[in-house]
Amino acid sequence: MKISVVGSGGWGTALALLLLENGHEVTLWSYAEEESRILCETRENPMLKGVALPAGLGLTTDLSCVRGCKIVVLATPSFAVRSTAHRVAPLLDAETVLVSVSKGIEKETSGTLTQAIQAEVGAEHPVVALSGPSHAEEVGRGVPTAVVSASEDQGAAELVQDVFMSPRFRVYASDDTVGVELAAALKNVIALCAGCCDGMGCGDNTKAALMTRGLTEIARLGVAMGGRKETFAGLAGVGDLIVTCTSMHSRNRRCGILIGKGTPPEQAVKEIGAVVEGYYAAANAKALADKMGVEMPIAAAAYEVLYHGKDPHAVLTELMTREKKHEIEDSWV
Ligand SMILES: NC(=O)c1ccc[n+]([C@@H]2O[C@H](COP(=O)([O-])OP(=O)(O)OC[C@H]3O[C@@H](n4cnc5c(N)ncnc54)[C@H](O)[C@@H]3O)[C@@H](O)[C@H]2O)c1
């Protein structure tokens, strides 16, 4: 099958290699001429050191590579998803399926990324979100990984499942696009907080509490927005949360560690040198929680640290000394 991957960062490249290995005809599109030149000359992506790009992988900066493709994978940072979909839209064949693999919430609309793509490409193109615990560095090396292919369109979700499935990349299909995408975007906020705890020298207890309560509030917002509760206990939910909060591959966690050690947030984001989606998602989470009237104390605390320079130590004390609660909200009712 002819497939284009639009966005040649670490994730787009790892997925392009996986699709190539699965026997598809794959072209990887780069946003920047310089990025494409490096890929062509070295046959390696600096984000995936030691992983060779085989001669069979097409490399281009010409977006017309999407013409004639049955599937187009969008793998840009979340802020560029709508503009990229807008550029791609007039070049698509009828019924081309779009796959969003970015993790974020659109800043301007507070909508999901598949909603932004759908608005740009039109209703005739099914849109799928592919998400789960999946570091590019590991998928690029063929480390066994499992993810979710989510769409309201069952045929499209299952097509994407078939196309990506391999003995080292297992794909589950889901109809809960909203839940999968919100889980993917919001866990990055919790990963930033987890890194922050590590940077401040907190222990395993603190991180476990943060992850558990973080998932609770992610699910609270997700369900309020139409997602299914079970999705948050699945690969795109707790699965991705575990991997992002515990791994040094996670740039969100690494950014949080710098902040926890005292680096100002904006400088920490710059030092990471690649997109830190959790930084932007924290602002989206705050806006969405306010709009939906959903309580998200950890996301609100992250927002204060990231955007108002509040001291993470003070924020941690405030979180620990909030009014007492029942763990399960409807206990004894
Ligand atoms: N890296 C991972 O392990 C991983 C795993 C799953 C999901 N994701 C998600 O995939 C998305 C991309 O992540 P990545 O790791 O590949 O990022 P990256 O920082 O490695 O690369 C980002 C790519 O986007 C391109 N880009 C920058 N500005 C652009 C613009 N205005 N228009 C179009 N393209 C532009 C860059 O040239 C670069 O190729 C993110 O949303 C991320 O959360 C990443």
Residue 228 to residue 234: CA distance in whole angstroms: 10
| Residue partners of 267: CB distance under 8 A and separation at least 6 | 258
Task: Identify the band that residue 274 occupies on the pLDDT scale cut at 50, 70 and 90.
Answer: confident
pLDDT in tens, 146-168: 999 999 999 999 999 999 999 99
Q: Is the same domain home to 148 and 230?
A: no
Q: Is the same domain home to 159 and 277?
A: no
- SS3 label, residue 133: coil
CATH number, position 241: 1.10.1040.10
User: To the nearest whole number, what is the mean pLDDT of the chain?
Assistant: 97
Helix axes 297-308, 265-272, angle to 10 degrees: 90
Beta strands in 132-181 (DSSP E): 145-150, 169-174
Ligand 1 atom closest to Cα of 11?
Answer: 16
Q: Which residues are annotated as a binding site?
A: 7-12, 103, 132, 134, 136, 187, 240, 250-252, 275, 277
Cα(11) to centroid(ligand 1), Å: 7
pLDDT in tens, 198-207: 999 999 999 9
What single-letter DSSP state applies at residue 238? I
Last residue of a domain, one of 114, 144, 175: 175
Mutation choice for ligand 1 from 29, 275, 277, 279, CB with most ligand atoms inside 8 A: 275
pLDDT in tens, 51-109: 999 999 999 999 999 999 999 999 999 999 999 999 999 999 998 999 999 999 998 99
pLDDT in tens, 244-257: 999 999 999 999 99
Cα(325) to centroid(ligand 1), Å: 39
pLDDT at position 73, please? 99
Cα(17) to centroid(ligand 1), Å: 16
pLDDT in tens, 110-126: 999 999 999 999 999 99
Query: What domain range includes position 213?
Result: 178-320
Cα(165) to centroid(ligand 1), Å: 22
Task: Identify the band that residue 333 occupies on the pLDDT scale cut at 50, 70 and 90.
Answer: confident
Mutation choice for ligand 1 from 5, 31, 60, 148, CB with most ligand atoms inside 8 A: 31
Last residue of a domain, one of 141, 175, 209: 175
Q: Judge contact between 97 and 70, C-beta under 8 A.
A: yes
Ligand 1 atom closest to Cα of 104?
Answer: 41
| Residue partners of 26: CB distance under 8 A and separation at least 6 | 3, 4, 5, 16, 19, 20, 56, 57, 58
Cα(139) to centroid(ligand 1), Å: 15
Q: Judge contact between 97 and 156, C-beta under 8 A.
A: yes
Q: Is the same domain home to 195 and 107?
A: no
Q: Judge contact between 235 and 146, C-beta under 8 A.
A: yes
- SS3 label, residue 51: coil
Amino acid letter, 265? P
Closest Cα to residue 95, out of 24, 161, 156, 6? Answer: 156
Q: Is the same domain home to 224 and 108?
A: no
Residue 244 to residue 223: CA distance in whole angstroms: 22
| Residue 127 covered by a domain | yes
Buried b (16+ CB within 10 A) or exposed e, 134-173: bbbbbbbebeebebbbbbebeebbebbbebbebeebebbb
Q: Is the same domain home to 84 and 188?
A: no
Spatial strand order of the sheet with 127-131 comes to: 58-60, 25-29, 2-6, 71-74, 97-100, 127-131, 145-150, 169-174
Q: Is the same domain home to 193 and 113?
A: no
Q: Is the same domain home to 22 and 154?
A: yes
Residue 250 to residue 255: CA distance in whole angstroms: 9
Q: Is the same domain home to 132 and 226?
A: no
Q: Phi and psi of 5, rounded to 5°?
A: -110, 120
84 lines ligand 1 (CB under 6 A): yes
Q: Is the same domain home to 167 and 200?
A: no
Residue identifier of the C-alpha nearest atom 30 of ligand 1: 80
Residue 277 to residue 192: CA distance in whole angstroms: 10
- Got the DSSP string for 190-226? HHHHHHHHHHHT--HHHHHHHHHHHHHHHHHHHHHTT
pLDDT in tens, 227-240: 999 999 999 999 99
Amino acid letter, 85? A
Q: How many domains does the chain have?
A: 2
* Residue 56: both structure tokens together: 């069979």
Mean pLDDT of 300-317: 97
Q: Taken in order 131, 257, 316, 306, is the CA torsion positive or negative?
A: negative
User: 29 pairs with which residues across the strands?
Assistant: 6, 60
Q: Is 187 known to be catalytic? A: yes
Catalytic residue among 2, 49, 107, 187: 187
